[in-house]
Chains A and B, each alone.
Chain A
């Protein structure tokens, strides 16, 4: 991996930053090693990094606004700061790690890839999730995993009301307590492969955990993965 290309995002629009990235990509030419980019001074711009794809390593220092890294594809991204609503909406592939807190609707409609949040998440975590793997180290708000179809959500802390409402597939691993659990999900006994899976997800997220003390929930309707 090359030395990261550094962009100072202070007082700059999202479009200008993306043009910088494209110019840098062009300057490397074909057959270049994977891109390594560090963006500093991001100040809550909305739609930051929407549609980014094909970047080997992306580091973002600062707070992201709403719809940050929307529809991310084929990127390895680390965010050092808090993120806004709808972070990683429609996540397709890649790996995203956030060293901060997230607001509402984290990873909504994500259909691939991996997302880890070291802090807490807001309401409507993983709404309509369709295949992504989401790890939240802290607690989440109400309506977590609303309308989830498939994928996997690991919550290290507590959750609010109506966990798993309208859930039709996928798996929830919960370590803390839930204020109320929807009638659409039921608790399943955790077996050794599940513990192994939790452990692997935690290793991927860079969190030290053996996967014990977790409870597993799946949808009462239909097939779960």
Chain B
């Protein structure tokens, strides 16, 4: 009897100690489940990110259009920082000042051969060091070589990398999260090294979609094999670094599985690639088509918002139903 009453007291204490904000979030999600407000009210947006602008081979104009669509959500959209080697930045198109284009939603990628640009970093929400690629792209490389593990060219030890991260942190006054993107090679050692260097999160690239198409997916590894090693590496490092994953998860169920495995954020690139409609062929008889209808100008990436909204709604639904199942169990 005493045991039962103690248990009830503990349960009551547990309920009482729950933060208010989490109650509001739960109520909002459960009240309006099935509507768009539910998805927007939950914090799924913060746990999703998109690498498509940085990774894909789409044209500059296409990247700009897809960026406009993705900006409607609170994702961390990965974008290249202002380039040093005269490479055109997406942000430069149609803007006098490159830095002014960056919004606070933007995560800036610094590749192994790129210098640090203070003006770009000042407007970033997060900074992600890309531990992948071929520095300076001096040699003809294969498609997959672009995703090969690579340290910044000036860094040769973990201590130096830690100091570089510290320097970046000093530049941004500690206002930004700093992460590191790695491709799966020796995952345990890499994740642990990155965490020891002081990054806030490690992004594990298991599947990438350079052409934003499910058929042209580049599989760098198996999520089942590498996720456990990555989590073990993070646990053994003893730091509070998080794990982000770019995988082939297209459904809310698969993403929820990753979240339950300890992943903090998941890429939506797979989802975008999955929902991207096939290219529409231009009719040969242009005169006839003009006569038949007057096309309304629509963004070629208008499908992005419904696809992402659908995913967010599915995640909210899945969260509620899995929660109920867990309670019943």
Contact = CB atoms under 8 A, between A and B. Distances in A.
A71 interface: yes
B154 A92 contact: no
Contact of A70 (B135, B171, B173): B171
Interface string B96-117: 0000000000000000011111
Interface residues of B, number: 24
Given A89-B154, A110-B115, A70 B84 contact: no
Interface string B108-128: 000001111111010000000
B166 A67 contact: yes
B303 interface: no
Nearest to B138: A168
Contacts of A73: 118-119
A66 B155 CA distance: 13
B115 A92 contact: yes
A130 B112 CA distance: 13
Which has the most chain B C-beta neighbours within 10 Å: A50, A124, A166? A50
Given A51-B171, A71-B116, A71-B118, A131 B84 contact: yes
B163 interface: yes
Interface string A112-132: 000000000000100110110
B151 to A, nearest CB: 12
Nearest to A53: B118
A85 B121 CA distance: 22
B164 A111 contact: no
A47 B160 contact: no
Which has the most chain B C-beta neighbours within 10 Å: A71, A105, A127? A71
B321 interface: no
Interface of A: 14-15, 46-47, 50-51, 53, 66-67, 70-71, 73, 85-86, 89-90, 92, 105, 108-111, 124, 127-128, 130-131, 146-147, 149, 166, 168, 221
Closest 3 CB pairs of A and B: A51-B171, A90-B115, A108-B154
21 contacts: A46-B163, A50-B167, A50-B171, A51-B171, A70-B116, A71-B118, A85-B163, A86-B164, A86-B167, A89-B115, A92-B115, A92-B117, A108-B154, A124-B154, A127-B153, A128-B113, A128-B135, A128-B154, A130-B85, A166-B138, A221-B138
